[in-house]
Amino acid sequence: MSTIDNVSPARGRARLSGSRASGAALLFLLAAFALLGPVLIPADPAAQDFSASLAPIGGDYALGADHYGRSLLARLAHGGRLSFGLAFLTMLAAAVPGVLLGLAAAWRGGWTERLLELLATVVLALPGLMLVLLLLAFSPGNYGPLFLGLSLTLWVEFYRVTRAATKTVLAQPHIEAARMLGFGSGYILRNCVLPVIAPTIATLAAFAMATAIIAVSTLSAISVGLQPPTPELGSMIVELLPYYAEAPVHVLLPAMLIFLLVLGLQLVAEGDRA
C-alpha cells in the first residue's frame, strides 16, 4: 500500500473533524446570542416606534428597525432563542421515547417489536406536516400543539434507527458472552449497546433539531404556526417581505439566522456521522 493510501483517510478524518468543530463553534456563538441577547439587549422586541419605521442599520438601531419601528436586533435575539429552544425541546421529546422504545423492541423482540413497528407504521402513514396541522387546528398559534406535533412526527426516526443499530450490536459474540455470564439487560444496554449507538443518535438529534427549526419557521411563515407579534424568525420574514425594495437587508437578517442555525447543526451532524 502506498504512502498516499495511508495518509488519505487521516486527511479525510481531519477535514471532517474540522467541519464538526466549525459547526460546534457556530452553534456556540448562535446559542450565546440567543440566550444572552434577550438579557443584555435592553430594547423590548414588541415596543413600537413608528417614527423609526424601517430605520437603517446603525445609529439608534444596531441592526435597524422593522416597519413598526421595533428593534430588529432585539427581535432576532428573541426569535433565535425561541427557535433554538423549541427545536432542542422537540428533539428531546422525540429522542427519549424513540430511543427507549427502540432499545425495548430490539431487546425483547416478538410481539413487543411487532406492536411498536405497527405503531411506527401508523404514524408514518400520516404525513408529518399533516399531523402538526391537525394539532394546531385545536389551538392555533400556541407553542404546545406545535411542540407536540413535531415530537410525535420525529420520534419514529429515533425509534427505527435505534432498533436497527441495537439489533446489529446485540448480534455480536461478546453480547452473547455477557448474557451467558449472567449480566443483566440494564448492564448490557448501558455499557455495551448505548456507547456504540450514541454517535448515531447524536447525528440524528442534530438533524432533528434542524428539521424542527425549518418546520417552525415554515409553519409561522404560512400563518398557521406562531403568530405575530411573537418574534419568530419565519413570521418576521413574511412581515418584512412587502418592504423588500425599501429595506432588503432587513428581510435577509432573519433568513440568515435560520440559515446559520441549520448550517451549524448540519456541520455537526456530518462530523458525527463520519
Q: Mean pLDDT over all residues of the chain?
A: 84
Closest among 129, 84, 126 to 224, alpha carbons compared: 129
Tell me phi and psi for residue 65, to 5 degrees.
-135, 155
Helices and strands (H, E) in the chain, number of each type: 10, 0
Q: How confident is the model at residue 2 (pLDDT cuts 50, 70, 90)?
A: very low
Residue 3 has pLDDT above 60, yes or no: no
Other C-beta atoms closer than 10 Å to the C-beta of 268 total 26
Other C-beta atoms closer than 10 Å to the C-beta of 133 total 17
Q: Which amino acid is at 149?
A: G
* CA 87 to each of CA 83, 128, 197: distance values in angstroms, whole numbers, following the listed order: 6, 15, 22
Angle CA(176)–CA(180)–CA(182) in degrees, nearest 5? 120
Q: How confident is the model at residue 5 (pLDDT cuts 50, 70, 90)?
A: very low
Residue 140, pLDDT score: 67
**DSSP notation for 237-265:** HHHHGGGTTT-HHHHHHHHHHHHHHHHHH
Distance CA 105, CA 112 (A): 6
Q: Is 139 helix (H, G, I), strand (E, B) or coil?
A: coil
Q: Is 26 helix (H, G, I), strand (E, B) or coil?
A: helix
- Which grid coordinates belong to 74? 432585539
Determine contact, residues 73/61, Cβ cutoff 8 Å: yes
Residue 43, pLDDT score: 83
Closest among 98, 123, 82, 107 to 204, alpha carbons compared: 98
Which residue is associated with the grid cell 433539531?
209
Closest among 82, 53, 49 to 232, alpha carbons compared: 82
Q: How confident is the model at residue 109 (pLDDT cuts 50, 70, 90)?
A: confident
Closest among 152, 158, 167, 140 to 99, alpha carbons compared: 158
The tens digit of pLDDT for each residue in 114-142 reads: 999 999 988 888 777 777 777 777 766 67
Distance CA 217, CA 62 (A): 24
Provide the sign of the torsion angle of the four alpha carbons 248, 83, 144, 230, taken in this order.
negative
Residue 81, pLDDT score: 92
Record the pTM: 0.83
Q: Which amino acid is at 189?
A: L
Higher pLDDT: 99 or 190? It is 99
Query: CATH: 1.10.10.60, 3.30.360.10, 1.10.3720.10, 3.40.50.150. Which one for 3-273?
Result: 1.10.3720.10
Distance CA 233, CA 224 (A): 14
Which residue is associated with the grid cell 464538526?
20
Residue 88, pLDDT score: 92
**DSSP notation for 28-75:** HHHHHHHHHHHHH--S-TT---GGGTTPPSBTTBTT-B-TT--BHHHH
Of the chain, the percentage scoring pLDDT greater than 90 comes to 33
